[in-house]
Amino acid sequence: METLSDEMIMQKVSEGNLDLLKVLFDRHHKHVYNFLYKMSGDQMLAEDLTQDVFYKLIKYRNSYNNGSFLSWLFTIARNNLKTHYTRNHKSHDDIEVLAYKAVEEENDVSENNAHLQYALSQLDPEDRELVILNRYKEIKYDELAEIFGSTPGAVKTRVCRILKKLKNIYLESI
């Protein structure tokens, strides 16, 4: 069971084998959580949203269309985050504030993290999403292209450009 691909497992889940969702949860919840955390800079929010993503996975298991599971999962995660910000009438840019709060309030969190969050908060929301997802090794350029509605080549070029920009912001902030 552990060697089955995400897609095959999800296929079985949508056919009614709900227990297999645990396998998918174990495999991916950390990444979803980290994506949302890096996007929002807020641990509590990231945890709530991650939970919501997997609830939606349960709820909408029948609408899984046999495409790339990771694309599907992170599309749900992105939409969740967007919905959250729309509902709270805040734009993604408010992360900047949150990032500073994180610096001030959580002294135990490493300085690297604070700088990283700051650098991330300087990016456009979509650039930020792209680069965070890119660092998750299991997501290929193909899947990124699928999530962002682009071509793999364009995504690759863009990721390189953003990474360079992000690295520079990060190094300057140290």
What are the residues binding another protein (CB under 8 A)? 16, 18-19, 21-22, 25, 29-30, 33-34, 37-38, 43, 46-47, 50-51, 54-55, 58-59, 110, 112-113, 115-116, 134-135, 137, 156-157, 159-160, 163-164, 166-167, 170-171
CB 102 within 8 A of CB 80: no
Least distance to another protein, CB of residue 34, Å:
6
Report CA torsion sign: 122, 126, 128, 130.
Answer: negative
Cα 50 to Cα 36: distance, rounded to the nearest angstrom: 7
- 7 vs 47 by CB, closer to another protein: 47
Least distance to another protein, CB of residue 89, Å:
26
Least distance to another protein, CB of residue 109, Å:
9
Cα 134 to Cα 22: distance, rounded to the nearest angstrom: 24
- Rounded to 5 degrees, what angle do the CA atoms 57, 87, 117 make? 80
Q: Which residue has the tokens 């497992």?
A: 9
Least distance to another protein, CB of residue 43, Å:
7
- 60 vs 91 by CB, closer to another protein: 60
